[in-house]
A and B are shown apart, each in its own frame.
Chain A
């Protein structure tokens, strides 16, 4: 089978439209994952054992089961329970919930790595809890979190093709729909792979730069 540039020209606009959806889903999902992850990290630190253990096992459950099945769950089960979500929205929630269990670990490690003396110093200066968090803990814990959080952004970008399974027309699905109606598989699939590489390789380099910039201070 030979490579056809006519097919490339034909499929490219659809792929770029799909890439836009992929990027939107990635950023929306990442925003959800960061907010939910921070919430999970805070709940994990709760003095109540019931709250912290429940959070731990719920997170482990989400983390030890496949994102694809979680997406099916959101897509097929929720409508039966009377909750109607658009496929895109269901996908964003799925990505957000799944990866919040990963980002929660980043937040937790970042907060725990602040030395205990800092908490004690804040207390001895009579800082309120809000002042302690805003002036002492967060400024020290956020910079080391930036590289791993950026890494999860790349990971989520690569997981978005799973949204095709719940009918979202993102980059991969755009190629798949085209292939299934024209029986041309070579060019669309190859281009999808190339487009992924074009986005991920520079982003991975950027996260490596962030790592050098923020991990040693």
Chain B
């Protein structure tokens, strides 16, 4: 990279920084939505009511079976025609969150189903209600198992936010496109944002690993003290 390109990058530094912040915001907000949906749909799959189970399967197959980009364009271009206008940001984080939520619901369902049957029987013999069974027995034991697959999904989610640039959200990818359009540079902006995405993802990977490690040590301590 020559002197001129360095100057360009210095000039566009605020734009790229803003883009990176938007990417992080999109990731965080859609991660919260995805987490809520994961639990809601994942638990609904285990409901005793047939209709609830069917509705959750429809949600799952719809959002897992179509492309995230198509979902985003549908929310951004088609819903306004049906009378529901969403701001680009709202369409962006709803599409990202609802899409990843469908994958997350499978994680929740799988983890809860993998808690041993004796645990359910013990709760039954203690006359626990279904709420108590989930709240005090199944979910606390299932959550540590969910952390590693949720970590992988978080990276997928972060990468998915790049797609939101296609519905005019000024994220990192969008700002790189602006730099390309205004300067004609290609290698520098795209290589730079690839590195930034890699750094953001690596921080997320590190945070999830730390969380998994913390949960393991806390459980070990509880086991030793007999709590």
Contacts and interface: CB of A to CB of B under 8 A. Distances in A.
Interface of A: 1, 60-61, 63-70, 72-73, 76-77, 80-81, 158-162, 164-165, 172, 176, 179, 185-186, 189-190, 192-193, 196-197, 200-201, 204
A64 B176 contact: no
Q: Which of A72, A162, A192, A201 has the most CB of B within 10 A?
A: A72
Given A69-B176, A69-B190, A196 B66 contact: yes
Contacts of A193: 66, 70-71, 74
Contact of A1 (B74, B81, B186): B81
A204 to B, nearest CB: 7
Contact of B193 (A67, A69, A81): A69
Main secondary structure of the interface of B (DSSP, over half): helix
B67 A190 contact: no
Nearest to B83: A1
B187 interface: yes
B65 A200 contact: yes
A2 to B, nearest CB: 10
B201 A161 contact: no
Contacts, number: 109
Contacts of B146: none
Given A185-B78, A189-B77, A68 B173 contact: yes
B205 A64 contact: yes
Contact of A69 (B77, B81, B197): B197
Nearest to B190: A73
Contacts of B176: 69, 72
B105 to A, nearest CB: 15
A189 B163 contact: no
